[in-house]
Structure 1
Amino acid sequence: MEQTDRLAAESRSPEPGTVALVTGANSGIGFAVARQLLEHGVTVWIGSRDLANGERAASDLGPAAHAVQLDVTDPSSVAAAAATVGRLDILVNNAGVNPGGEDITATSLEQLRAAYETNVFGLIGVTQGFLPALRRSTHPRIVNVSSGTGSLAWNSGPNPQFDWERVQGGGLAYRSSKTAVNAVTLLTAQALGSAFKVNALAPGLRRTNLVAGMTVGGDPTEAATGVVRLALLPDDGPTGALWSWDGTRAPW
């Protein structure tokens, strides 16, 4: 895998006709990613579990945005979406859930299953479903929206992403599912080779529906910029890495 500590500030200019799919794109980081990709001239499919929500988002974003019903936990929905989208150059696996629970003493198996069903199995299923289209692209890119709280290195000691002393052992379902996303990202990059660019992004805490009710967190647009940088990597760009939203390499 290519090694670098910081991503270049400038992204590759996408070729005319470049097509992206962003899952969970009707709000939050996904919506901001879609908007920024559109600004780069990319045609964007808004993947949304509720089609009406996706259609409203696409209408807000403009004529180059299109809605597609996509429940990442439903294989038939993934297959139907792949057939609808057709050509694809960029896949942003953004859809995610936080079903709650705290540490191992206060997290149910149901909460763990819910987290993994969407955040891990859904991500894998969507990637597999759209791989045939991505293989036909001349610049295939996959970006998995992960979390700094899934970094084992950062979970093992003081880190810049969260209050380590306060959250030790907490968030078992969500955080461990994002650790799994990091592993899936690395192994996918290894399996697909250097023609693909497969990376994960730690977006930082953002004001989205995922943390509804919280008053802290930054603007989703800032995190989206990091996603788009990875989605538009040049052909000599890195693959198989976890990146912080600010373009610096993050530890696994």
Structure 2
Amino acid sequence: MTITLITGANRGIGFETARQLLELGHVVYIGARDTERGEKAAAEIGARFVRLDVTDDASVKEALAAIGAAEGRLDVLVNNAGILAAGDIDGPSALRSFDTNAVGIVRVTEAALPLLRKSANPTVVTLSSSAGSFWAVTNPERPEFHLPLALYSASKAAATMLTVQYAKSQPGIKFNALEPGTTATDMTAAFGIGRPPEESARAVVRLATLDADGPTGTFQDENGELPW
């Protein structure tokens, strides 16, 4: 059995990724900061729930300790939790954006590393964004060129760089970042755009089910590697 943890998975792409990986036979832990919503989501698809708030060190450590006690290892980590951080640009907003979208990745990954090292095929997938790609945001032909999301874009650039640096420092574990595609979720509701989450989740599943000799240190979308 493949043991998988997905953060922020009580809705959207994370929830759909959990459902698809369950269909492939994974034991899936849905990590969510809201216990009621997380338990409801897990029960709906037959996953397991663990309370996990990526902005809280104690919560993260307790969640990984619980998985370790129950399973003894972790095979796949999907860093999915994130916020859009639209609106005013100020210090508190910047701290909130980076705390969730970048520092949260560090908290969860560091807590998960001991369990990932016990896996025969450890894999980490981080949901990033081409909104954090210098190549995309400076290209007038790309939709990211027109997105007024400075804090979101900057924090996602950090998420991609963390992925590359973890891949370099942890050669026994595959780390890849993903642009999942514009998706209609609660986070993007204000824009009224995007495809169904199940379509974007397929790209997450592809990276979450790589063979042992699969790529690492990449930034990809559903069609392959992207410049950034």
Corresponding position of 1:38: 22
Query: Aligned runs of 1:62-73 on 2, under 5 Å?
Result: 62=46, 65-73=47-55
Corresponding position of 1:218: 195
- The CA deviation string for residues 32-69 of structure 1, in whole angstroms up to 9 with x for no partner, is 1000100110000000001111110011102xx10000
In structure 2, C-alpha distance between the alignment counterparts of 1:204 and 1:123, rounded to whole Å:
20
In structure 2, C-alpha distance between the alignment counterparts of 1:119 and 1:212, rounded to whole Å:
19
Query: Aligned runs of 1:132-143 on 2, under 5 Å?
Result: 132-143=114-125
In structure 2, C-alpha distance between the alignment counterparts of 1:138 and 1:69, rounded to whole Å:
26
Corresponding position of 1:100: 86
2:6 pairs with one of 3, 19, 22: 22
Corresponding position of 2:91: 109
Which amino acid in structure 1 is aligned with residue 156 of structure 2?
A: K
Which amino acid in structure 2 is aligned with residue 34 of structure 1?
A: A
Cα distance change of structure 1 residues 192 and 163 upon mapping to structure 2, 3 Å threshold: closer
In structure 2, C-alpha distance between the alignment counterparts of 1:97 and 1:157, rounded to whole Å:
24
Q: Are 1:248 and 2:219 matched, yes or no?
A: no
RMSD of Structure 2 on Structure 1 (CA): 1.2
Aligned length: 224
1:52 pairs with one of 10, 33, 36: 36
In structure 2, C-alpha distance between the alignment counterparts of 1:159 and 1:184, rounded to whole Å:
27
Q: Normalised by the size of structure 1, how large is the TM-score?
A: 0.86
Which amino acid in structure 1 is aligned with residue 18 of structure 2?
A: A
Corresponding position of 1:78: 60
Corresponding position of 1:127: 109
Unpaired runs of 5+ residues, structure 2, are none
Cα distance change of structure 1 residues 134 and 159 upon mapping to structure 2, 3 Å threshold: farther
Unpaired runs of 5+ residues, structure 1, are 1-16
Which amino acid in structure 1 is aligned with residue 39 of structure 2?
A: E
In structure 2, C-alpha distance between the alignment counterparts of 1:237 and 1:73, rounded to whole Å:
30
2:167 pairs with one of 186, 189, 194: 189
Q: Shift in Å at residue 213 of structure 1?
A: 2.7
Which amino acid in structure 2 is aligned with residue 47 of structure 1?
A: G
SS of match in other structure, 1:212: helix
Corresponding position of 1:173: 151
Q: Contact between 2:102 and 2:159, CA under 8 Å: does it hold in 1?
A: yes
Q: Which has the higher helix share?
A: 2
